[in-house]
Structure 1
């Protein structure tokens, strides 16, 4: 079948959300899925985590060295507009933009790149209408979120009496699973805590803001692995979606509502357009007073868990995938083809090791001062030009390694800002304890790069041929003509070796 490429937005093992679920469905349909993790990890460059689904743990190396060997047609699926331009680097034949949120920060990228997309999938009607306005010639398909129904349904008849992290209580257990973020209505949480002082308000999810409701019966348990969620839901009496109404939430189709229902839990939500479609299976409140009233009714008139769960079954990811498949066949007939990418990726393998490089920053404003304790910066500003020196590693690295990359991480704050990096090298030993801007070194030019942003946080430079020519790993000087001070986090060498063959 077709190769499906998902670029880095969320690591495979973190917060199993729509991307992971949809990619799993592609894999179950016998496509080869390449899921690129956001963070580069040492170890296997790729791993088969599900049948036909491979996580990629060094995106740039895989794109440089492996993707050109993959002969099947490639479908590139991204749920972040910022990643649309990387479809070309991945040799994609067809590009799908999965529009999942209406974040204002994404507007510019959407308008800039949307016309490179072949088809658009949207999770909410508001998003579909927005996409039709900015890309009127591009096909748009509505595919809301869903749930792993069987995974949550198996707990719908179970009630747990205890939950790790909270004391035992006879009062009602009111739970929210999701990010604790700016769009959560903290006033509702506070009123719930006051109304049910003998109960528990339990928050499960990553803390994206420090603005909390400081009540003794509000429990913030933080992020919990996806595998634990059904058991946690078994402890709740009622599940809530306490969102403020704003531009973002009015276009939100929350996965949690489907998961709540699949687990047989009654749900009370604020008046979100996408959740309102699910009345009467979900209670939707216009005001705080009505929200509290709906909670009180739900505690008295308990819903049949099986009834709620059976309703949610129609929203399984398997059912959502059927809509995706039917749409893609119309626009990308190659989705029906079969290939041999899976056999290729299971027949060869690469291992990735990293070696942190000691650095020293220098600054023209302090030409004779050693700044070895400063972070690694490059770039120019009136406060001085920063240069960064990376010392040759002290570890004994096998120079016969298949590939050697110079890696560093940059979290760019501006979309697709060109980052100019000039790289020079020296074989002479550099003393980072005494190095200053004025120090004279025997430097040789290697390459100048104009990085048009990386597919993930890591910027990678292939230095394999330079190392083989020199017969050694040199020290490097990095500098930039950008009118900014650019921080190079975690400078390191990445060493790649094939592990499926015996080195001669």
Structure 2
């Protein structure tokens, strides 16, 4: 039996998330499960790694949870600890257990840094659980484009990619043929208490019914305005929130924030609720979400009102609100139901939850681990069913964008462009993908217009000079198509097109610049740097910003500094200052990083 190593982006001793449920499932059915957090390197002493000779010595640095999951113990008080100790530790795990006996499940892209030397005998599953492109837009989180590059690399390396949302399925389909859709789920036995086993929480006793309930983080993705609107319009309803308040809730007399609760306490709170809510903002981040709380609500028999999220539309026991008025109307619907009809909704919710029990959802992955047939649904079938389910909501701007992504994946570009009225603004459009659709039907004017809208909408005007440079080339049509494939995340098709370009026209400097960006986008940093150097050596007659886009230039400067080529890195950065204000501001940041690297070097 294989040993399963969960490589997580969240600590083990944190509120239960998807990696925790995976770990629990596999340990319950007899697998030895090691749970390692990305920042657990401060719990691994390098001398100890060297001295590990067998399984018993390895497990000695782990604690064992009530679920029989092994997780790393307390921090080691050593100043010399470095992140690369995790790489050494994973290699030691492979050495102790034997490569073919270890299966890694990674749910965070940065783990690829520690997995590059993974032997072919070991198995890697990448669990794609978030739309990381949206996270890097939040500067407070500290993520950079490198997170996206690493995700594409780990997806390309994985033996299997599983996705928690249909949007993520489409995205990952460009990087791996073995894709399996596995939405979030629930342990139904945790929420199906018998009557008489529930306790009324003390902090709920003085709150009047009916209760509208929310559990989880009140964070940036929660629509505070829809909460304010509903609470003001229905002062007779009590809106109760438990969890972490990362963003302040509206201060209204019928809104109650009760703080964090333990996982095992949540059923007691849900038992007192008439309806549960997921009032998320409607955007590309939440379009890739299947919230754990949704299935936990249903499992408890609490009907749910949500804003629009593609994966949970039209499931029995819940209502999808298309706007804030809908949201309040659906609250009224559940709260005002007669007892008999409400009981039907309760049963509908519980029946839906049965299909999403973790034990049921994870059985196919168990088959894969055991070397059996996973029965992966054909991509064409999966996307066909997805399109059919979305068509009911195709007038919704967010759903139109999801259909655009689906049609593009299937090569149905005419259908993609037919979704949109050029005169009507739509904040949810992935304009780079719409531009690609226009290219594919040979409408280059509309493609260029959509690309300009992409740069404007995403505050990427810094790319305009580079785009203009591509458009000035005699062979601009194929260069533009390569670039739009790149922006759309279809890197491998773009690379195939570069091969065609070389066969027809030969290699040139701007294609070298494109190749730099393409290999950067899939985390092949060494290859990207080789193409960058070749382009720099053939730069005569061009400005650097005409050959490379901003992200490639950023990568080149960083790579040169890492190679101690400080003078060349500084020269490139200084030349950028003269381009304009925005470039000048970025150049100052580059120079600061170079000078820090010089000093540290």
TM-score bracket for this pair, using the shorter chain length: 0.5 to 0.7
Cα deviation for residue 243 of structure 1 reads 0.8
> Match for 2:231 among 181, 193, 196?
193
How many pairs align?
341
Paired position in structure 1 for 2:162 = 121
Paired position in structure 1 for 2:322 = 286
Spell out, residue by residue over 1:227-254, the C-alpha distance to the aligned partner (whole angstroms, 9 max, x if none). Answer: 2111121122210010111001111111
> Match for 1:154 among 177, 193, 205?
193
What does 1:58-97 correspond to in 2, within 5 Å? 60=86, 62-63=89-90, 68-71=95-98, 73-88=101-116, 93-97=122-126
Cα deviation for residue 63 of structure 1 reads 4.0
1:241 matched to 2:278:
yes
Cα deviation for residue 293 of structure 1 reads 0.5
- Decide whether the 8 Å contact of 1:95 with 1:117 is kept in 2: yes
Shift of the 275–228 alpha-carbon distance from structure 1 to 2, 3 Å rule, reads: same
- SS, match of residue 325 in structure 1: helix
More strand, by proportion: 1
1:56 matched to 2:72:
yes
CA distance in 2, matches of 1:485, 1:218: 50
- Decide whether the 8 Å contact of 2:230 with 2:324 is kept in 1: no
Cα deviation for residue 317 of structure 1 reads 0.3
Shift of the 47–88 alpha-carbon distance from structure 1 to 2, 3 Å rule, reads: farther
Where in structure 1 are there 5+ consecutive unaligned residues? 334-414, 419-449, 451-480, 487-504
- SS, match of residue 191 in structure 2: helix
Cα deviation for residue 277 of structure 1 reads 4.0
* Relative contact order, higher structure (CA 8 A, sep 6+): 1
Shift of the 42–297 alpha-carbon distance from structure 1 to 2, 3 Å rule, reads: same
TM-score, normalised via structure 2 length: 0.52
Cα deviation for residue 50 of structure 1 reads 4.3
- SS, match of residue 169 in structure 1: coil
- SS, match of residue 11 in structure 2: coil
CA distance in 1, matches of 2:210, 2:44: 46
- SS, match of residue 125 in structure 2: strand
Spell out, residue by residue over 1:322-353, the C-alpha distance to the aligned partner (whole angstroms, 9 max, x if none). Answer: 122234445899xxxxxxxxxxxxxxxxxxxx
Spell out, residue by residue over 1:245-269, the C-alpha distance to the aligned partner (whole angstroms, 9 max, x if none). Answer: 1001111111111110110101111
> Match for 2:311 among 271, 274, 280?
274
- SS, match of residue 269 in structure 1: strand
- Decide whether the 8 Å contact of 1:5 with 1:75 is kept in 2: yes
Shift of the 12–286 alpha-carbon distance from structure 1 to 2, 3 Å rule, reads: same
What does 1:127-146 correspond to in 2, within 5 Å? 127-132=168-173, 134-135=174-175, 137-146=176-185
CA distance in 2, matches of 1:323, 1:67: 25
- Decide whether the 8 Å contact of 2:112 with 2:153 is kept in 1: no
- Decide whether the 8 Å contact of 1:230 with 1:263 is kept in 2: yes
1:14 matched to 2:21:
no
What does 1:17-36 correspond to in 2, within 5 Å? 17-36=17-36
What does 1:106-117 correspond to in 2, within 5 Å? 106-117=147-158
More helix, by proportion: 2
- Decide whether the 8 Å contact of 2:164 with 2:182 is kept in 1: yes
Paired position in structure 2 for 1:361 = none
Paired position in structure 1 for 2:359 = 318
Where in structure 2 are there 5+ consecutive unaligned residues? 46-59, 76-84, 137-146, 375-522, 527-561, 563-592
> Match for 2:62 among 33, 46, 50?
46
- Decide whether the 8 Å contact of 1:261 with 1:267 is kept in 2: yes
Cα deviation for residue 90 of structure 1 reads 6.9
- Decide whether the 8 Å contact of 2:61 with 2:72 is kept in 1: yes
Spell out, residue by residue over 1:194-231, the C-alpha distance to the aligned partner (whole angstroms, 9 max, x if none). Answer: 1232332112222333x431222212223222121111
CA distance in 2, matches of 1:156, 1:89: 54
CA distance in 1, matches of 2:108, 2:93: 24
- Decide whether the 8 Å contact of 1:153 with 1:262 is kept in 2: yes
- Decide whether the 8 Å contact of 1:156 with 1:264 is kept in 2: no
Greater shift, 324-333 or 182-191, is seen at 324-333
CA distance in 2, matches of 1:159, 1:168: 17
CA distance in 1, matches of 2:116, 2:69: 21
- SS, match of residue 209 in structure 2: coil
CA distance in 2, matches of 1:207, 1:417: 39
